Amino acid sequence: MASVSLSEAEKVYIVHGVQEDLRVDGRGCEDYRCVEVETDVVSNTSGSARVKLGHTDILVGVKAEMGTPKLEKPNEGYLEFFVDCSANATPEFEGRGGDDLGTEIANTLYRIFNNKSSVDLQALCISPREHCWVLYVDVLLLECGGNLFDAISIAVKAALFNTRIPRVRVLEDEEGSKDIELSDDPYDCIRLSVENVPCIVTLCKIGCRHVVDATLQEEACSLASVLVSVTSQGVVTCMRKVGKGSLDPESIFEMMETSKRVGKVLHASLHSILHKEESLGPKRQKVGFLG
Amino acid sequence: MAMEMRLPVARKPLSESLGRETKKHLVVPGDTITTDTGFMRGHGTYMGEEKLIASVAGSVERVNKLVCVKALKTRYNGEVGDIVVGRITEVQQKRWKVETNSRLDSVLLLSSMNLPGGELLGQGVLVQVSPSLVKRQKTHFHDLPCGASVILGNNGFIWIYPTPEHKEEDAGGFIANLEPVSLTDREVISRLRNCIVSLVTQRMMLYDTSILYCYEASLPHQIKDILKPEIMEEIVMETRQRLLEQEG
């Protein structure tokens, strides 16, 4: 993870500030920085989204391709995650430096989607045991400004919301061989339901309290963090602890309660902004990367 | 708890809202500045095919017969007499390596540690900005009336810290004061930090007056709201107007 070096005095200042619920930029312990979300930024994907959270900039692209279902789950499609930490984000990612972080994030994404209800995988099946849709979700880290996991999960949810998979029909002729027919209308497509897609809330323990959405400086003062993946109903799908420090079981319980509360608000805001963007229709002014 | 999501908005060009009489002559590398050969070449220019061409992106400055291009975003180039704030990155046998946002790391020899004007800093907040936004002034140490002090390093590192109550004599060696800073001081420091960040986002020059006016303009808003784009624009616009009134 990209890190900054701080002096002891600076760390003490930050820790005391968190104690009094006043962080360096004036936020409280449970406040997020301003988030900017835009979908449909990459034209040659099935769905894409870009999320800016303070200095953290994430781009996610989803491509739907046809493949064969996995042997143990013949009636379902599946998702594949790949995370690229580009050297643009921070000089530490030059060469192979970003690979470790990339695999860590990809494994976390696999874990949080590894349950029956996050994404309706049966809707991705075309014909059992033979064809299914595989969604390749590619995450690109453009800039690293703290709180990567939250931003990435928001971007993945927004990109899945934006994904349009072409509608196909399976035609069987007399000899029994199957043919897949693509609909003529380019706008005839199926959308995924992202109601149950979880988002990650990262809680960093600083001193005796925990903060949401930590900046790079705050992450440098925290010895332990908990990543909780929460759905819009407040259901926790997975939890993971990172960092060298230890955590009290009571603080873990408090952090989980905080994450459920924060997660519900996060999902509600994301839901409303995605619907607002969609209601603007195809004529909305796209900002993209050159705005 | 507060959570705000918004759709991105395209940036508006600043010059429309400025109402400036003289437009700056902006150039990019490769642009011709002038075909008149009577000028002396300054920094950021070179002579090619009988015309003066810019080698950096910035604004053209003309002083009598000297033409140079001042780059808008560059690493810090040191000058004698500048005040800089740096972060010690490495400790070697007889010297320290200091990071000062310049092309190479700076070196601080242990023998020069107790010279007047150099000191180690205690609790506070560091804000990193582009060096071109810090105005050159007589003094860079400012005790602002709102209750905090600011050191504007020429290299773009700005240190905000609570004003020490009384100047103590250094009793040899440095012991950082690690007592908790009071909540009122913290609010002032956070507010100043957000004001500086908003001034930098709107590309305004940083000096004690501009920071102070921006602080006063931000008082009606909550500290964490200052970083919202619309409030940032409103505050900086007010600061700009007050500065223009003061000059005019």
pLDDT in tens, B161-191: 888 775 555 444 466 677 888 888 899 999 9
- Non-local (6+) Cβ contacts of A71 within 8 A are none
Task: Evaluate whether residue A3 is within a structural domain.
Answer: no
Q: Is residue B106 pLDDT above 60, yes or no?
A: yes
The minimal CB distance from B190 to the residues A25, A266, A273 is found for A25
Chain B CB contacts of A262 under 8 Å are 1, 3
The verdict on residue A249 lying in a domain is yes
In angstroms, what separates the C-alpha of B21 from chain A's closest C-alpha? 27
Residue A288 lies in a domain: no
Query: Cα distance from A34 to chain B (closest Cα, Å)?
Result: 6
Could you give the CA distance from residue A13 to residue B177 in angstroms, rounded to a whole number? Answer: 10
Which residues, listed in sequence order, are joined to residue A164 by a DSSP beta bridge? A191
Counting the structural domains of chain A, the total is: 1
Q: Which residues of A touch B9 (CB under 8 A)?
A: 287, 291
Instruction: Give the rounded percent of residues in chain B with a pLDDT score beyond 90.
Output: 13
The closest CB to that of B5, out of A8, A37, A285, belongs to A37
Structure tokens at A225: 């963090």
- Residue scoring higher pLDDT (A158 or B31): A158
C-alpha A238/C-alpha A173 separation (Å) is: 46
Mark yes or no for CB contact A26/B123 under 8 Å: no
- CB-based contact, B121 to chain A, within 8 Å: yes
Residue A213 belongs to domain spanning: 8-280
A192 lies in some domain: yes
Maximum average pLDDT range among A3-12, A36-45, B40-49, B104-113: A36-45
Contact (CB<8Å) A24/B190: yes
Residue A208 lies in a domain: yes
**Residue A2 within a domain:** no
Record the tokens describing residue B49, joined without a space.
Answer: 């095919």
| Contact present, B234 and B214 (Cβ < 8 Å) | no
Interface test with A, best of B5, B189, B194, B226 (most A CBs within 10 A): B5
Whether A265 is covered by a domain: the verdict is yes
Instruction: Report the CATH number at residue A207.
Output: 3.30.230.70
So what's the pLDDT on residue B171? 46
For the stretch B217-224, contacts whose Cβ atoms lie closer than 8 Å and that sit 24 or more positions apart, written own/partner, are B217/B242, B218/B191, B218/B194, B222/A26, B223/A22, B223/A25, B223/A26, B223/B187, B223/B190, B223/B191, B223/B194, B224/A25, B224/A26, B224/A27, B224/A28, B224/A31, B224/B2, B224/B194
CA-based nearest residue in chain A for residue B198: A25
Q: Give the angle subtended at the CA of B237 by the CAs of B59 and B149, to the nearest 5°.
A: 85
Output the pLDDT for position B45: 87
CA distances from B4 to A34, A54, A143, A261, B45 (A): 6, 12, 20, 15, 46
Count the alpha carbons within 13 Å of A21 in the hemisphere toward its beta carbon. 4
pLDDT (mean) for B4-20: 69
Put simply, whether A32 touches B (Cβ < 8 Å) is: yes
Looking at residue A1, its pLDDT comes to 55
Tell me if residue A124 falls in helix, strand or coil.
helix
pLDDT tens digits in sequence order for chain A, 291 residues long: 556 788 888 899 999 999 999 999 899 999 999 999 999 999 899 999 999 998 899 999 999 999 999 999 889 999 999 999 888 888 778 888 888 899 999 999 999 888 888 888 888 888 888 889 999 999 999 998 889 999 999 999 999 999 999 888 888 777 767 778 888 787 888 888 889 999 999 999 998 899 999 998 999 999 899 999 999 999 998 999 998 999 999 999 999 999 999 999 999 999 999 999 989 887 777 887 776
Per DSSP, the three-state class of B50 is coil
Q: What is the pLDDT of residue B13?
A: 67
Tell whether A1 is covered by a domain. no
Task: Look at B205 and B10; give whichever has higher pLDDT.
Answer: B205
B181 shares contact with chain A (CB less than 8 Å): yes
Q: Touching check for A266 and chain B: CB below 8 Å?
A: yes
Helical H segments across chain A, by residue range? 8-19, 99-112, 148-162, 216-221, 249-279
Give the tens place of pLDDT for each residue, B123-157.
889 998 888 888 888 888 888 888 889 999 888 89
> B9 and A261: CB-CB below 8 Å?
no
Q: How many CB pairs under 8 A join A and B?
A: 118
For A291, residues 6+ apart whose C-beta sits below 8 A from its C-beta are B8, B9, B10, B11
